[in-house]
Structure 1
Amino acid sequence: MSVLNLHHLRLFRAVARKGTLTGAARELNLSQSALSTQIKALEASLGHDLFERRGRGLVLSEAGRIALDHAEAIFRTADDLTATLRNTGNVRRALRVGALATLSRNFQLRFLMPLAGRSDVEVILRSGSQADLLRALEALSLDVVLTNLVPGRDAASPYLVHALSEQPVSLVGPPEFAGRALADLLASEPLILPTPEAALRASFDVLTGRLGVMPRIAAEADDMAMLRLLAREKVGLAVLAPIVVRDELAAGTLAELHRLEGISERFFAVTLHRRFPNPLVGEVLAAFALEGK
């Protein structure tokens, strides 16, 4: 069995990205003939043609697409190894965190608090959509993703999903509404709700159906920060996890009017199976778990 030549594999990746031998040769500072010879050597080693000629360009064959997927994984692992080992012994380490753009800022802060004030740690926080964050995680540009949405998984999925917290959900509003029955408030007062796509909203709709209530919706938002702002401005009574308005509850400007039994919001950290994981991820997950006990 022939040994795979990683130098040939790197050249193949460059040609696949450029789409022409000429462009790849120019980028690699090689002659076109030398590059072509080495690509043919890789094809001979693998036993398959990796490209098909289309006009003046090259497109990947089916075998080529498979080879490129594996090449990208190999070189990502190599980059990860280099970065990890180079950082060993350094005074300052980085933790790259992705957070769903709509996730509670208070929850994000609570997750990161075990690292707060540490002179040897730099936290790099990025927000975005679930799809973008998971792509960044797979590309190893993020170490962990915080979300309240469980990513789709199958036997081939690379994700590790860590259940961090399950927070109760309440009806929150100005303190003067305290003491009134839940059904009365839901039927008579304007409400601030998560959008219909949210799992939390589906559970709330089941609750109002069971109570026989037709809610008056003042506003809907998929962003926890916006729900918090609307509640603070007294646009209506908000359905959310109390952690979202923790400061307002502590200050007495808002009150937890009713705990909505059977409804909760779950928070997750998503990581990858990695040969060289960032040790800070394990530290913060362990510290968060200990805090929750």
Structure 2
Amino acid sequence: MQDMINYKHLKYFWVVAHEGSIAQASSRLNITPQTISGQLSLLEERIGCALFEKEGRGLRLSDDGRLVLRYADEIFELGSELADVILGSRGVGPADFIVAASSGLPKTIVHKIIAPALKIDHEIRLSSLEGSVESLLADLAVHKVDLVLSDIPVTGALSVKAYNHFLGESGITFFALPELAQKYRKTFPASLHNAPLLLPTSQHEIRKEFDFWLSDRNIRPNIVAQFDDSALLKSFGQSGLGAFFMPTAITKNIEDTFGVEAFGDLPDVKQKFYAISAERKIRHPAIAAIFNSARASLFAN
């Protein structure tokens, strides 16, 4: 890479990357598409690599483009902060903070993990999304989200440069309506054999851990239904269709909200929780609040 980068060219690249196309960037910047395309070509020539690849009628970032975008985000964020300091306009309007959670994570625990972000000194506007871990990490790579919550860490198998921040772990607790809970409590966990269970689908890590536990003990429950969405699973449990498990860390919330009773703990079957960000070192105040609160209270035990 040569010594100097034209920051106007970098700004055009930054806008195109976030808007997703030259046409949309043109509308935002009020500059002709031809001008933007020409400036992008000059930037690519300057740094010696292609920043975008064609995808249908649009563009997607190349691997080099994603790397450059990370630096561009930091550069223009710092520039914005500098302008705020000099102009004395700190705190004008809330900053967007976008958190995406794996669809299999219990909504109650996602709420408890995220909530501390709303108590920091900085005013933020929270957006919460959910989906598969793979799709969420893809959004993280192009800065569409600030943080991904997952029960599995990101690994080198995925071509995404992201960093795991371990929040903590929790054993699991079984719940059911009072009459079912009373029936299965006395001889738990042997009572799970032939018991009607509502379980997460096998794509979720905690289901795999539970299946291993069952296999080791030769326990074969009656799996009544499987769910990808934890909220739906709990709703069916509330209706009396069967027993279900959730992280022990939210036992009281589950009992109070769904009118069910806990009837047994499996501390050896652990669900782990990770906050995945594009930063190796946590600097974002909302992410820091999430991390510190999870480690200090939610998963302290």
Q: TM-score, with normalisation over the residues of structure 1?
A: 0.73
Within-5 A mapping of 1:146-225: 146-153=149-156, 158-173=161-176, 174=178, 175-182=181-188, 184-225=190-231
Cα deviation per residue 1:99-126 (whole Å; 9 max; x = unaligned)? 2233212112212333456785334132
Tell me whether 136-145 or 227-236 shows the greater mean CA deviation: 136-145
Q: Residues of 2 paired with 1:193 and 1:184: CA distance?
A: 17
| Aligned counterparts of 1:183 and 1:40: Cα–Cα separation in 2 | 65
Which residue type is aligned with residue 128 of structure 1?
A: E
Moved more, 252-261 or 231-240: 252-261
- Give the aligned residue type for 1:264: K
Matches within 5 A, 1:1-293: 3-8=4-9, 18=22, 28-29=31-32, 45=46, 68-69=65-66, 71-85=68-82, 89-90=90-91, 93-94=94-95, 95-116=97-118, 121-129=123-131, 130-153=133-156, 158-173=161-176, 174=178, 175-182=181-188, 184-243=190-249, 246-250=252-256, 253-273=259-279, 277-291=283-297, 292-293=299-300
Alignment check: 8 A CA contact 1:80 1:276 kept: no
Q: Does the CA-based 8 Å contact 1:191-1:216 persist in structure 2? A: yes
What is the aligned-residue identity percentage?
18
SS of alignment partner, residue 172 of structure 2:
strand
Indicate the SS of the match to 1:102: coil
Question: Are the equivalent residues in 2 in contact too, given 1:104–1:244 (CA < 8 A)?
Answer: no
Displacement of 1:268 in angstroms is 1.2
**CA distance in structure 2 between the partners assigned to 1:90 and 1:135 by the alignment:** 30
Which amino acid counterpart does residue 187 of structure 2 have in structure 1?
Answer: A
Greater C-alpha radius of gyration: 1
* SS of the residue 1:182 aligns to: coil
- Contiguous gaps of at least 5 residues in structure 2: none
What is the aligned length?
279
Residue pair 1:192, 1:238 contacting (<8 A) in 2 also: yes
Mapped partners of 1:165, 1:91: distance in 2: 35
Is contact 2:175–2:244 with CA below 8 Å preserved after alignment?
A: yes
Code of the aligned partner of 2:173: S
TM-superposed deviation, 1:196:
1.6
Q: Tell me, in whole angstroms, the C-alpha distance in 1 between the residues paired with 2:253 and 2:48.
A: 64
The one-letter code sitting in structure 2 at the alignment partner of 1:287 is S
Q: Tell me if the contact between 1:84 and 1:276 (Cα under 8 Å) persists in the aligned partners.
A: no
Q: Is this contact kept in 2: 1:171–1:237, CA < 8 A?
A: yes
Q: 1:191–1:236: 8 Å Cα contact kept in structure 2?
A: yes
C-alpha distance 288-91 of structure 1, shift in aligned 2 (>3 A) = farther
Is the alpha carbon distance of 1:67 and 1:191 closer, same or farther for their aligned partners in structure 2, counting shifts above 3 Å? Answer: closer
Amino acid at match of 1:131: E
Deviates more, 1:190-199 or 1:86-95: 86-95
SS in 1 for 2:145: coil
C-alpha distance in 1, partners of 2:202/2:222? 14
User: In structure 2, how many angstroms separate the alpha carbons of the residues matched to 1:171 and 1:278?
Assistant: 36
Contact 2:184 / 2:192 at 8 angstroms: preserved in 1?
no
Residue matched to 1:54: none
Deviation at 1:90, TM superposition (A): 0.7
Instruction: Supply the RMSD in Å over aligned alpha carbons.
Output: 4.3
Kindly tell me: are residues 30 and 125 of structure 1, through their superposed partners in 2, closer, same or farther at Cα, counting changes over 3 Å?
A: closer
- Decide which moves more: 89-98 or 144-153: 89-98
| Distance in 2 (alpha carbons) for counterparts of 1:239 and 1:66 | 41
Answer with 81-90 or 125-134: which moved more.
81-90
1: CA distance between counterparts of 2:267 and 2:145?
36
Query: Aligned in 2, Cα 1:191/1:83: closer, same or farther, shift over 3 Å?
Result: farther
**CA 96–47 in structure 1, closer or farther in 2 if over 3 Å, else same:** closer
Unpaired stretches in structure 1, ≥5 consecutive residues: 52-56
> Residue 186 of structure 1: CA displacement?
1.9
